[in-house]
Amino acid sequence: MQVKSFYHLVFTLHRYIGLVVGLIAIIVGLTGSLLVFHSEISSFDQQRQIGTIIPQGEMLPVELVLNTVKKNYADQPDAPVQRIYLPSKPNEPMNVVLKTKQNEWTENYVNPYTGKIIGNNLKPSFVQKFYEIAYPLHYALLGGDIGYKFVGIIGFLMSFMSITGIILWPGWRRLISGFKIKWNAHPKRANFDVHKVAGVITAVFLIFAFFTGFCWSFSEFVNPMIYAITFSKQQTNPVSVPIAGKSALELTQQLKTAQAALPDGTLRRIYFPTKPEETLTVAFKLPQETEDYGQSSVYLDQYSGKVLRVDSSLQMSLGDRILNSFIPLHYGTFWGLPSRTFYIFVGLAPLILFITGFVMWWYRYKGKNRSPQTREMLKLRVKN
C-alpha cells in the first residue's frame, strides 16, 4: 500500500469513527473529569457530616475498634463484618463495614483514637447522590453489565482514534507548526489548529485512560493475554481449609502474622471472608508505593493463620505489574497532583475534539457542493 493511500485510509477511519463514537466519548470524558478528585470531595463531605478528628497519640488496635462497633449491633450478633478501611491520614476516621438487616453495606465511622462511633448510616448528601449517578454513568452509561461492555468497546475505539490522530498530526513534517494555532486566520483554519493541538497534547493520556478502561471491561480476555505475552504465571486464588470444630482466629493474631510477612508495610484495608473457604486478605502500602491505598496484600487461612500468598508490589511478575499500572494510568495518579489536575483537561478533550472534528467534517461536506472557483478562493483564505 502506498503512503498516500495509507494516510487516506487512516484519515477516513479517524473521521468516521470519531463522528460515530464522539458523543459517547464526551459523556465518558466529562464524567471522568468530575471523578478525578472524587476521594477528596467525598472526604470533605464526610468531615462536614461527622466532624474533624483531632489526632490524640496512637491509634487504638483494630480489633478493639471492631469489638466496639459490634457492641453497637448487639441485637444482630451474626451481622458479618465485610471490610475495615484504615485512615490514610491522621485526621481521618476508621471505617468498619458490616452487612446488617437494614443494609447490605452499613458503614460505621469510628474515631481511631477514642473508639467512639461518630457516624453510621449517614444520610446521603447531594455530593453522594451526585457521585452515585456520575460513577456508573462513567463506566457503564447506567446500563449495568451490558453498558460496562459497551463503554469498553468505546474505550478501544477511542484508543484507536488517538493512535490515528498521532499518525495524522501535521507536526511530523513541521514540528513548530504542529503546536501553533492561528487564531486570526479563517475560522476553518483556526478550528483545525485547535483540533490538532488539543489532540496531540492529550492523545497519549487519552490512550492511557480509554485503553485501561477497555482492558477492565474485558478483563476475562485481556488478563490471560497479558500473562501469556509476558510469560508470567497467573496466580490462583488461595483458599482456607476449614477445621472441624474450630472458628476463625482472632483478628489481632492474624494481623501480626500479616505484618510479619510485609514488615515495612502500613496497614490500609482488611477484607473479611464471607464463605468458609475464603481467606482473610490484609492490604498494605509499602513505602515505595505512591497510591494511598497501597498495592500489596497478604492472604491468610482464616482458621490456621497460615500465610497462603504474599503479593508485594516490589516482587510481582511483569504481568501483574502491568495490570497494577492500569490504576495510576487510568486515574492519572502517576505524577501525583500535577497529573491528576491535568486529567481534568484530558476528560474535556473528547468534547473539544468532537466539536472541532464535526466542524471540519461540515466544512468538507459543504465544500463538495460549492463550485470549483469558490473552493479555490476558500483554500487561499485558509492558507492565509
Question: Cα separation of 109 and 129, whole Å?
Answer: 19
Q: Do 299 and 279 touch, CB atoms closer than 8 A?
A: yes
CB proximity list for 119: less than 8 A, separation 6 or greater: 46, 49, 50, 93, 108, 109
Q: Note if the pTM is more than 0.75.
A: yes
CB 283 within 8 A of CB 299: no
379, pLDDT greater than 70: no
Cell of 247: 472458628
- Percent of the chain clearing pLDDT 70 (strictly above): 95
User: DSSP class of residue 170?
Assistant: G
- The yes-or-no verdict on residue 367 having pLDDT over 70 is no
pLDDT for the residue numbered 120: 80
Q: Determine what percent of the chain is predicted with pLDDT higher than 90.
A: 69
- pLDDT at site 378: 47
Q: Say if residue 193's pLDDT is above 70.
A: yes
CA 200 vs CA 23, 39, 203, 233, 325: distances in Å: 20, 29, 5, 37, 23
Under 8 Å between Cβ of 241 and 330: no
Instruction: Report whether 148 contacts 217 (CB < 8 A).
Output: yes
- Please determine, for residue 372, whether its predicted confidence score (pLDDT) is greater than 80: no
Specify burial of residue 136 (Cβ count, 10 A radius: 0-12, 13-18, 19+).
middle
- Residue 32, number of CB atoms within 10 A of its CB: 24
Per-residue pLDDT at 234 exceeds 70: yes
Between 40 and 368, name the one with better pLDDT: 40
Which of 67, 111, 70 lies closest to 90 in space, CA to CA? 111
Whether 72 shows a pLDDT value over 90: the answer reads: no
How far apart CA 131 and CA 202 sit, in angstroms, is 25
Higher pLDDT, 341 or 236: 341
Check residues 60 and 380 and name the one with the higher pLDDT. Answer: 60
pLDDT digits (tens, 9 = 90+) for 296-316: 999 999 999 999 999 999 999
Q: Examine the pLDDT at 243 and tell me if it is beyond 90.
A: no
- Mean pLDDT, residues 347-370 taken together: 87
- Is it the case that residue 375 has pLDDT exceeding 70? no
pLDDT for 50: 87
Q: Categorize the per-residue pLDDT at 28 as very low, low, confident or very high, splitting at 50, 70 and 90.
A: very high
pLDDT of residue 229: 96
Q: Report the C-alpha gap between 83 and 99 in whole angstroms.
A: 10
| pLDDT tier for residue 371 given thresholds of 50, 70 and 90 | low
> What φ, ψ does residue 155 adopt, rounded to 5°?
-60, -40
3-state secondary structure of 302: coil
Mean pLDDT of the chain: 91
**pLDDT digit string, tens, across residues 106-156:** 899 999 999 999 988 777 788 889 999 999 999 999 999 999 999 999 999
**Per-residue pLDDT averaged across 338-342, rounded?**
96
pLDDT the model gives residue 103? 83
Lowest mean pLDDT segment, chosen from 100-104, 120-124, 283-287, 356-360:
120-124
Contact predicate 162/198, CB 8 Å: no
Q: Is the pLDDT of residue 61 over 90?
A: yes
Q: At what angle do helices 337-367 and 187-217 cross, to 10 degrees?
A: 120
The more confidently predicted of residues 269 and 125 is 269
